[in-house]
Amino acid sequence: MKIVLIHPPSDPLCHETVFGLKAPPLGLAYIASYLEERGFKPEIIDMSVCDMSTEEMRNRLERLSPNIVGVYCSITRVRQSLDIAKIGKSLGATIVFGGPHATANYETIIKNDNVDIIVLGEGEEKFARLAELIESRHSLADIRGIAFKDKGKIEITPIASLIPDLDELPFPAFHLLPMESYRICGNISIATLASSRGCSRNCRYCLVPKMYQSIWRGKSPVKVVDEMESIYSHYKPALLLFFDECFTEDLKRLEKITEEIHKRNLEIKWASMSTGIDISKELMIKMRKSGCLALFFGIDCGVISSASSPIKTMNIDIISQTFVNAHQAGLFPIANAVFGFPGETKTDFEYLLQRTIELDPDHALFFKAVPYSEFSDYELDQMEKEAYKSFYNRRSYILKHLARSVSRVVRFRNFSIDFMWKYSKWFFKTIRIVKSL
């Protein structure tokens, strides 16, 4: 049984261009390791980092001759995912889709002639069971949490239970990926991991509740640090990046993670992509002392309501204090701002942009609320460019950010000279990129 898991290239993403980000496909790496534990020998092809064309993918699949092709499908990869499905199907493979867009829109995607099965939500157990049943030529009807075709008829099985204990999952199969190719800020090597899954906040624009049934589950602090230590010992990334949906859901668990890092005397630098605003300055200081460099704060998720104009319900005082606390703790606070919600106006967008600037983050990433927005694609693109130019093309921001960066190096010694040199080169390059948008 030959299994190939594919991470398609994405449509151009402004935040990845500006932030110089190339991250490993974490979900596929966890599925691959789960398959390996059960005797399979999967391969992962990350087209997004290899700059592989569709024709090159066809040639690769012809050589591999897979029985199953698993394809990650997100909203920015729909066309590319379906192109791969067509190639795999023409070679006689069973095509399995998974990922947030495949889960949210399974009723439409499963009708595509080249898609045989969709794994809904969490993938490890379902994909492994699929591989076993396809290999033995048994019916798929007993697998919960999938959509599939049976003799031309579309079948949807009942919702599957989530994996009860994430500690039981093997570490991601990064040995199947070109780990030397993954970067942030252009030239700073990274690896990613997830200490938890899900989120209890149910933000109206987010697909995470559909993926994980609105339930949050966390690995134990010991298991989290075991994984950090294992990844660092094998690949020596300059930065470990937590890709949790909500890393700070359980603050007591987070504190124990920092204590476990201290206990082992680990010299690992890390950051969190999703941080709640309820985190205290005292805990931020503990995180910084354990090697944390940056926290990404979603300034919408969890702090705005689902009102027709949600931005204006934001408690800006609480959020402002969170960013002040992060600066004082010696961390880089980074704002993740989503714009273009249904019911919003250009005035709402301008309000969000102004408030983001006033929060004074070290960096800001702006995300379009696609495909839900009532704005046209052109309007969203123009608003995105306006947001980046307004935030980064300010002389006061550049001078203040550079002064703060030097201060952190001197006061906290949390950033190596090599790290700051690479970061500084990327920073000035980014300013030039933004000016050219």
Q: What is the spatial distance between Cα 327 and Cα 319, in angstroms, rounded to a whole number? A: 13
pLDDT tens digits, 394-414 = 999 999 999 998 888 888 877
pLDDT confidence of residue 22: 93
pLDDT confidence of residue 373: 81
Q: What is the spatial distance between Cα 401 and Cα 176, in angstroms, rounded to a whole number? A: 38
Nearest to 4 by CA among 37, 38, 40: 40
Q: What is the spatial distance between Cα 282 and Cα 68, in angstroms, rounded to a whole number? A: 49
- Domain 182-435, classified CATH 3.80.30.20, yes or no: yes
Q: What is the spatial distance between Cα 429 and Cα 397, in angstroms, rounded to a whole number? A: 15
CA distance to 14, 79, 184, 362, per residue, from 190 (Å): 19, 28, 6, 20
**Cβ neighbour number for residue 370 with a 10 Å cutoff:** 14
Asked if residue 305 has pLDDT above 60, the reply is no
Q: Is there a contact between 4 and 46 (Cβ–Cβ < 8 Å)?
A: no
Which H or E element spans position 231? helix 221-235
Q: What is the spatial distance between Cα 432 and Cα 388, in angstroms, rounded to a whole number? A: 12
Q: What is the spatial distance between Cα 292 and Cα 306, in angstroms, rounded to a whole number? A: 32
Which H or E element spans position 218? strand 217-218
Whole-model pTM: value is: 0.92
Mean pLDDT rounded to a whole number for the chain: 91
**pLDDT: is 316 or 145 the higher one?**
145
Q: Is there a contact between 291 and 270 (Cβ–Cβ < 8 Å)?
A: yes
DSSP string, 237-258: -SEEEE--S-TTSSHHHHHHHH
- Collapse the DSSP code of 364 into the 3-class scheme (helix H, G, I; strand E, B; otherwise coil) and give the result: strand
Q: How confident is the model at residue 170 (pLDDT cuts 50, 70, 90)?
A: very high
Q: How confident is the model at residue 321 (pLDDT cuts 50, 70, 90)?
A: very high
Asked if residue 307 has pLDDT above 50, the reply is no
Q: What is the spatial distance between Cα 5 and Cα 373, in angstroms, rounded to a whole number? A: 31
Same fold, 3-156 and 182-435: no
Pair of tokens at residue 425: 């080169």
Q: Is there a contact between 392 and 434 (Cβ–Cβ < 8 Å)?
A: yes
pLDDT confidence of residue 205: 65
- Domain 3-156, classified CATH 3.40.50.280, yes or no: yes
Q: Residues 188-204: what's their mean pLDDT?
A: 88
Q: How confident is the model at residue 315 (pLDDT cuts 50, 70, 90)?
A: low
DSSP state of 187: T
Q: Where are the domains of the chain?
A: 3-156, 182-435
DSSP state of 22: B
pLDDT confidence of residue 345: 86
CA distance to 69, 70, 84, 382, per residue, from 91 (Å): 10, 14, 11, 41
Nearest to 96 by CA among 129, 142, 48: 129
Q: Is there a contact between 296 and 275 (Cβ–Cβ < 8 Å)?
A: yes
